[in-house]
């Protein structure tokens, strides 16, 4: 196992930031810690790094008990949201920093820096200073610098959080490709579910200091364990189970609420078996798909996502009468609440 976190808790004053968290991260995998602001993701990452010490529990890194090890002894690479590059050093010098501290021979350090410049696609920019780089390029330098010392574990705290949406998207797929080349056990914090889904092998969903669910992106999306996970990982309609929409079509539930993804709302222009009438309130073009806000007979508002082709076929417009039914839906035991 690359990282094992065993029953770890951390309190700040009376606030429980991390609450009895246990998880295992396989060697060589890329795992996202995903959750809303304040859910304890960064604190958990800092506990793994040794930047905070746990009140209780244990942390194992590559099979060794690291709970009381110093940051320096953990052989960890760390990249923060805000570029922590040395302004007065060139890209090459920045990348070589950890190697110089470890007194790596000049020839070895030079070779390693060139290898990393190649890896992060910055070969042409090695002699520039951080101020002469874009935000995305700086984060790639920060990554190269953290990889230089061949860490056992790479920890990334919202590494692309300060970048604009397009650069962020490019860097995500770049990070995935980079990881496929270097295979270092990587944990990265994000509050962006799309980023977590696209980049990681596994996602740890956190809420209020606890782990809500651990699984592959597809596993978590298709089989959310709690209402929180279902709502956080993608858009969802939450409807009373008494809604006519769920009667007689196999979605009857003893639970008060039923959770329905917008793409699981089937929209038709003619009644069809168990479908119920609705009126189109608003149509929003989302690019490759279309969002339709529908009002059921009982006043419930349901959001549906339709592929563009299907939308064109139905020719939906505000005020139009349509018929809807659920394709898939989910309910959760009563003791869970969002």
Collapsed DSSP state (helix, strand, coil) of residue 68? coil
Q: Which two tokens stand for residue 234?
A: 């993608």
For residues 43 and 331, which CB has a smaller minimum distance to ligand ATP in the complex?
A: 43
For residues 45 and 292, which CB has a smaller minimum distance to ligand ATP in the complex?
A: 45
For residues 10 and 138, which CB has a smaller minimum distance to ligand ATP in the complex?
A: 10
Query: Is-contact 141 85, C-beta < 8 A?
Result: yes
Q: In whole angstroms, how close is the CB of 6 to ligand ATP at the nearest point? A: 19
Residue 184 CB contacts under 8 Å (≥ 6 apart), including other chains: 28, 77, 147, 151, 152, 153, 154
For residues 14 and 319, which CB has a smaller minimum distance to ligand ATP in the complex?
A: 14
Q: In whole angstroms, how close is the CB of 191 to ligand ATP at the nearest point? A: 5
- Only one residue has tokens 């690291």, namely 66
Q: In whole angstroms, how close is the CB of 290 to ligand ATP at the nearest point? A: 32
Q: In whole angstroms, how close is the CB of 116 to ligand ATP at the nearest point? A: 28
Residue 49: name the closest of 171, 150, 170, 156 by CA.
Answer: 156
**What is the binding site for ligand ATP (CB under 6 A)?**
12, 15, 17, 35, 37-43, 191
**How many C-beta atoms surround the C-beta of residue 224 within 10 A?**
23
Q: In whole angstroms, how close is the CB of 258 to ligand ATP at the nearest point? A: 29
For residues 74 and 191, which CB has a smaller minimum distance to ligand ATP in the complex?
A: 191
d(CA 234, CA 328): 15
Residue 178: name the closest of 135, 217, 139 by CA.
Answer: 139
d(CA 166, CA 281): 32
Q: DSSP secondary-structure letter at 330?
A: B
d(CA 278, CA 293): 10
Q: In whole angstroms, how close is the CB of 42 to ligand ATP at the nearest point? A: 3
For residues 37 and 131, which CB has a smaller minimum distance to ligand ATP in the complex?
A: 37
């Amino acid at each position: 196992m690359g990282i094992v976190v065993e029953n770890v808790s951390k309190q700040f004053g009376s606030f429980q930031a991390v609450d009895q968290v246990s998880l295992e991260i396989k060697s060589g995998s890329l795992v996202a810690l995903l959750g809303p602001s304040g859910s304890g993701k960064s604190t958990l990452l800092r506990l793994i790094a040794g930047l905070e010490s746990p009140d209780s529990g244990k942390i194992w890194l590559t099979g060794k008990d690291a709970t009381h090890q110093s940051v320096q002894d953990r052989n960890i690479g760390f990249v923060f949201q805000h570029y922590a590059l040395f302004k007065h050093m060139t890209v090459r010098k920045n990348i070589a920093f950890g190697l110089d501290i470890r007194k790596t021979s000049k020839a070895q350090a030079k070779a390693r820096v060139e290898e990393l410049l190649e890896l992060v696609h910055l070969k042409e920019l090695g002699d520039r200073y951080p101020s002469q780089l874009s935000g995305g390029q700086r984060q790639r330098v920060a990554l190269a610098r953290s990889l230089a010392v061949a860490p056992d574990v790479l920890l990334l705290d919202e590494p692309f959080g300060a970048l604009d949406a397009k650069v962020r998207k490019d860097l995500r797929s770049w990070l995935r490709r980079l990881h496929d080349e270097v295979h270092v056990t990587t944990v990265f914090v994000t509050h962006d579910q799309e980023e977590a889904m696209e980049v990681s092998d596994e996602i740890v969903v956190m809420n209020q200091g606890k782990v809500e669910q651990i699984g592959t992106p597809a596993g978590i999306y298709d089989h959310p364990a709690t209402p929180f996970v279902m709502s956080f990982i993608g858009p969802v309609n939450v409807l009373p189970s008494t809604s006519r929409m769920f009667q007689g079509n196999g979605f009857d539930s003893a639970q008060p609420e039923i959770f329905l993804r917008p793409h699981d709302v089937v929209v038709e222009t003619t009644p069809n078996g168990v479908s119920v009438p609705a009126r189109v309130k608003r149509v929003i073009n989302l690019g490759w798909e279309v969002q339709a806000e529908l009002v059921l007979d009982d006043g419930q508002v349901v959001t549906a996502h339709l592929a563009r082709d299907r939308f064109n076929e139905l020719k939906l417009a505000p005020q139009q009468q349509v018929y809807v039914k659920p394709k898939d839906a989910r309910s959760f035991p009563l003791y869970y609440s969002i």
